[in-house]
Amino acid sequence: MSDHLGANLRLLCSHYRSIAEVCRKLAINRAQFNKYLNGQSQPTPYNLKRIGDFFGVEGYELGLPPEQFVRLVGARPAEARRPAPADPLASLLQPLRRHAGSLSRYCGYYFEYANCMSVPGSILLSLVHLREEGGQFLFERQERQERSSPGSGEAEDWVRCRYLGVAFGLQDRLFLIDYESLTLNEISQTILIPSFKSRITRLNGLKSGVSSGDRRTPACTRVVWEYLGSEINRVSAYRQVMLYSPDDPRIDPDIRERLRTPQLQDGLFAVD
């Protein structure tokens, strides 16, 4: 496909005012798209389908010899060649994506410590992976809680949650929005203060969301991200994901101090 993809993409892009416009509508990084045009890189299967859907062609057709591709596109009814309608949500976020700064130096794995919203008085440790994909910064957060009190249950007694989200760097702050992907019943937001040191260790911030209890009470708590590295033993790290008592010796005193401000709940927030 590398011999023909670039030529076929240039033909399709010629029907638009500019390549930049195509990249904006596709929400694909311009530098990466240029590599496709120049034959320096191949789209992932996901991006290939997005490009095909946008231009109204099949992904495999983009790899046909240019003369065959010209006949194919030229013979196709205009309605079939019409680009797919723009995604309203993607269009809404596009200016934010262009304006946001790079978070490359923050990519990697973290332990997230937070005062548990559903079990007051406990500290919830989660595992977070922040990564760059297609010029955007995405993250996954894994957490699990025992149905009973911390430290008293077996693995089958644990409730697991998996959050998927997007991160933006705006005005010296990290804004992260995620949703619970297994139940689709919760959206949460985290705001972190970045580290201006050469070595990232811990990031402070606030997290807002809802309790997993029956009342789904809105709540806000301080949160600490502890950097683990770009590559880790994920099995070993995940074993540590659970609820902890505040006085548990496995919780670093510095983290305990950073979390000491009571959480926001029912509109009340205790400030230092």
Q: Write a three-state SS string for 25-72.
A: HHCCCHHHHHHHHCCCCCCCHHHHHHHHHHHCCCHHHHHCCHHHHHHH
Residue 2: what pLDDT?
58
Averaged over 155-176, what is the pLDDT?
A: 86
pLDDT for residue 51 is more than 60:
yes
pLDDT for residue 266 is more than 60:
no
3-class DSSP state of 267: coil
Residue 78: what pLDDT?
47
Write the CATH number of the domain with boundaries 5-85. 1.10.260.40
Residue 196: what pLDDT?
78
Averaged over 198-213, what is the pLDDT?
A: 86
Q: Strands 243-244 and 202-210, how do they pair?
A: unpaired
Are 261 and 141 contacting, i.e. CB atoms less than 8 angstroms apart? no
Of 43-57, 67-81, 106-120, 175-189, give the lowest mean pLDDT range: 67-81
**What pLDDT band is residue 249 in, cutting at 50, 70 and 90?**
very high
Q: Please, what is the average pLDDT of the chain? A: 84
What angle (nearest 5°) sits at the alpha carbon of residue 225, between those of residues 243 and 120? 35
Residue 262: what pLDDT?
55
pLDDT for residue 194 is more than 90:
no
CATH class, 104-265 region: mainly beta
3-class DSSP state of 158: strand
Residue 197: what pLDDT?
77
Residue 57: what pLDDT?
87
Residue 269: what pLDDT?
36
pLDDT for residue 177 is more than 70:
yes
Q: Where in the chain is the domain with CATH 2.40.128?
A: 104-265
pTM across the whole model: 0.63
pLDDT for residue 156 is more than 70:
no
Q: What percent of the chain is modeled with pLDDT above 90?
A: 45
Averaged over 34-50, what is the pLDDT?
A: 90
Burial readout 12-21 (b: 16 or more C-beta within 10 A, e: otherwise): bbeeeeebee
pLDDT for residue 107 is more than 90:
yes
Q: Where in the chain is the domain with CATH 1.10.260.40?
A: 5-85
Helix (H) and strand (E) counts for the chain? 9, 10
Residue 272: what pLDDT?
30
Residue 158: what pLDDT?
73
Residue 106: what pLDDT?
94
